[in-house]
Amino acid sequence: MAQQSHAMLPFSNHEKGKPMTWTPPPYADPAAFTEHDITLDAAGRTVPGTLTLPARPTGRGAVLLTGGGPFDRDETSGPNKPLKDLAWGLATKGVAILRFDKITANRPEAMAEPGYTMTAEYVPHGSAAVRLLAEHVDQVVLVGHSMGGKIAPKLAAEEPLVAGVVIMAGDTQPMQHAAVRVVRYLMQTNPEAVPPETVALFERQAVAADNVSPDTPAADLPFGAPASFWLDQRAYDPVETAAKLDVPILVLQGGRDYQVTVTDDLPAWRAGLPNATITILDADNHVFFAGEGPSTMTDYQLPGHLDPAVVTAIADWLP
């Protein structure tokens, strides 16, 4: 599978012939924290990460979980690093941060291997990250974006040190159905890039995912992910899992997000988590960059920064 946001559809990591570099967001003060390389060891594999420690700590810390796809710790896409924006913004406010490369970041081919699951990709190293960060702070919360937000309740249920969960654009609609919805939207907004044959392919693959068995060939399933991935998806209900947690929950949703939407995904969080704090940032797209008008795939190729309102919302909510 190609690198994806929300494990949904691929988008470019660069514009051909135009090298682009990340610059710090205006709300981050690099003098307010230090960063240290770390390594997480879990399930027989190690991954690199970064521990960000504020000069004036508040005793609070957050482990960041990237979206679906072989993302690095910063969720790098083109010139943008939304999770690095978030890490530096929160660290400026005194929150310690641990973020790490997913096990697929340097091995994207692993996402097509038999036995691959969302749970295996996130939970073991996520738990190791929580335990490491807990050595430096009094309280650790999870902040997950997109698929990272979807899996965060499961990690919190398995890791007792988690004191709260932030779900940023966490999807609740079955992924295979969301994929059809998204590809239809992209065909409408950019018909030259997404022909009708692509929509038809996603529709066939969604049916295969609905009826997946251990023997279903990966070639018949969305994104070429193996049957193990779709069986794991079918067995997991993020809202039901989150509802059983005895920790505070913050749900953030972008109003312009066409991948995880106010209409298709947020109602399940509202219905299932009556005590959660739910905030819609009307101007934000899927990666919580503010803008105007309908969001499209080209949004991800334009230099920008995480909406400062996200940093403020999380910092103010932290228990």
pLDDT recorded at residue 232 = 98
State the average pLDDT over residues 181-207: 94
Find the CATH number of the domain harbouring 11: 3.40.50.1820
Cα–Cα distance measured from residue 162 to residue 134, given in angstroms and rounded to the nearest whole number? 9
Catalytic one of 74, 101, 171, 257: 257
Give the pLDDT mean for 74-90.
96
Give the whole-angstrom CA distance, residue 105 versus residue 4: 11
3-state secondary structure of 146: coil
Residue 282, burial from CB neighbour count under 10 angstroms (0-12, 13-18, 19+): exposed
Respond yes or no: is residue 257 known to be catalytic: yes
The domain tally of the chain equals 1
In a domain, 246, yes or no: yes
What was the pLDDT predicted at 19?
54
* Domain-located, residue 239: yes
Q: Is residue 262 included in any domain, yes or no?
A: yes
Domain assignment present for 281:
yes
Q: Is 2 a residue whose pLDDT tops 70?
A: no
Q: Examine the residue annotation and report whether 136 is marked as an active-site residue of this protein.
A: no
Q: Contact 310/286 with Cβ under 8 angstroms? A: no
Asked, for residue 91, whether it belongs to a domain, the answer is yes
Give me the mean pLDDT over the 289-303 stretch.
92
Count of C-beta atoms within a 10 Å radius of residue 214: 9
Q: Is residue 292 part of a domain?
A: yes
Domain that holds residue 136: 4-173+227-317
- 114-137 b/e with 16+ CB inside 10 Å = b? eebbbbbbbbbbbbbbbbbbbeeb
Q: Which of 146, 264, 295, 299 is catalytic?
A: 146
Q: How far is CA 264 from CA 150, 172, 173, 297, 306, in A?
A: 14, 8, 7, 19, 23
Which residues are CB-neighbours of 139 under 8 A, at least 6 positions away?
59, 60, 61, 163, 164, 318, 319
Residue in the structure block whose two tokens are 């996603």: 202
Q: Quick: pLDDT tens for 201-256.
A: 999 999 999 999 999 999 999 999 999 999 999 999 999 999 999 999 999 999 99
Residue 280 lies in a domain: yes
Of 5, 286, 299, 307, the active-site residue reads 286
Q: Could you read off the pLDDT of 84-114 as tens digits, one per residue? A: 999 999 999 999 999 999 999 988 999 999 9
Quote the CA–CA distance of 204 and 201 in Å, as a whole number. Answer: 5
- Asked whether residue 222 is assigned to any structural domain, the reply reads no
Q: Kindly give the interhelix angle for 147-158 and 118-133, rounded to the nearest 10 degrees.
A: 60
pLDDT over 70 at 83, yes or no: yes
Q: Residue type at 104?
A: T
pLDDT score of 298: 87
State pTM to two decimals. Answer: 0.94
Give the position of tokens 């996402």.
Answer: 111
